[in-house]
């Protein structure tokens, strides 16, 4: 589990290798990552945008950018949490993801760049 707090928003990431969705013999390694975000600010914030940097040890880095997450742009009131699960497929046994979310303070209108902690995606057999 990796956690970072930026501008009063805490982001926690956990990962899991999905053997049921992977085809190791064909160099297809699928991972789920679960993101939990907690608003520790005194004002509500809304998730507007996401930017991901995906590193696959055998390929060039890839970027993913888009509105919200899993089709949503949640508003988090003070003290509220929001969680979602998504996935990433790699063509190697080792990878890494990092990025940031853009949130908007719902009172001031200020845009906030909230870091996503770097996390590793590792095929479990690679650890032996």
pLDDT tens, position by position, 84-112: 999 999 999 999 999 999 999 999 999 99
> Using one digit for the tens of pLDDT, what is the confidence trace for 5-26?
999 999 999 999 999 999 999 9
The stretch 104-125 carries a mean pLDDT of 96
Contacts of 34 (CB under 8 A, 6+ apart): 13, 14, 15, 16, 83, 84, 85
Nearest Cα neighbor of 33 from 80, 88, 82 is 88
Q: How far apart are CA 25 and CA 127, in angstroms?
A: 17
Q: How far apart are CA 7 and CA 113, in angstroms?
A: 8
Q: How far apart are CA 55 and CA 95, in angstroms?
A: 5
The stretch 24-53 carries a mean pLDDT of 97
Ordered by where they begin, the domains of the chain are 2-127 (2.60.40.1470)
Q: How far apart are CA 86 and CA 66, in angstroms?
A: 14
pLDDT for residue 59: 87
Confidence of residue 1 (pLDDT cuts 50, 70, 90): confident
pLDDT for residue 128: 59
pTM to 2 decimal places: 0.93
Locus of tokens 């919200």: 68
């Amino acid at each position: 589990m990796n956690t970072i707090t930026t501008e009063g928003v805490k982001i926690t990431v956990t990962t899991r290798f999905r053997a049921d969705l992977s085809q190791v013999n064909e160099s297809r390694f699928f991972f789920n990552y679960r993101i939990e975000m907690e608003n520790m600010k005194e004002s509500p914030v809304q998730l507007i945008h996401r930017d991901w940097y995906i590193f696959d040890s055998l390929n060039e880095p890839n970027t993913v950018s888009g509105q919200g997450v899993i089709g949503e742009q949640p508003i988090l009131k003070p003290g509220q949490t929001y969680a979602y699960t998504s996935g990433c497929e790699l063509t190697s046994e080792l990878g890494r993801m990092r990025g940031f979310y853009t949130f908007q303070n719902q009172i001031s209108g200020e845009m906030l760049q909230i870091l996503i902690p770097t996390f590793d995606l590792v095929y479990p057999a690679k650890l032996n």
